[in-house]
Amino acid sequence: MAKPKKDVIVVKGIKEVQVALKRLGVAPKRSRTLINKALKPAGNALARVMQFEYKKEFNNPRYVRKEGRTPTYKTIGVVTARKSRQPGLFVGPILRRTTPIRIKGKDSRNLPAMQILGNAIHKPRPNIFNKAYEKSKEVISAKAEKDMMKFLDKIIKQAGFTSKF
């Protein structure tokens, strides 16, 4: 059985947008891509909030970063849900952006998640991702819905329909 999703922002009206795109003759795969593209600015806004919270929690002015290392807050970003048939984005630590760090002879590939969960050396820290999520959930959801409506208006104009009332 799948785990319940706890930190999910659901944008209302995506089904209606998919139906409208289908009526305009856009293939389902293409509509998923277009909807993800419209949701990306809201995802980036949430990623920026998470990066800010991360810097506020873990910033240590005494620490000097080794040359060539990626700043940890930059590993937080947006990833498109590629294996899903439904549109969606994941916001959080991204593995491919991290610099591998060795802890007790093993690679620690995801430093933000490790700092939240803790490991053999470090104790767990407060989950800043939940804090950022709760702080900006309503704003991000409203931005995503607004972007979806702008996107739908643009698609309707491209299809050659105008709405003059």
Query: What mean pLDDT value characterizes the chain?
Result: 77
2 or 127, which is more confident? 127
For residue 149 the two structure tokens come to: 């409506």
User: Between 28-58 and 128-158, two packed helices, what is the crossing angle to 10 degrees?
Assistant: 150
> How far is 52 from 10, CA to CA, in rounded Å?
23
According to the model, what pLDDT value does residue 22 have? 81
CB 118 within 8 A of CB 125: yes
pLDDT of 45 reads: 92
Residues 128, 53 contacting (CB under 8 angstroms): yes
CA angle 55, 56, 61 (to 5 degrees): 75
- The CA distance from 99 to 48, in Å, is 20
Q: What percent of the chain has pLDDT over 90?
A: 4
- Assess whether pLDDT exceeds 80 at residue 36: yes
The model carries a pTM of 0.74
pLDDT for residue 87 is more than 70: yes
Enumerate residues 6+ apart whose C-beta is below 8 A from 134.
Answer: none
Q: What is the mean pLDDT of residues 117-143?
A: 80
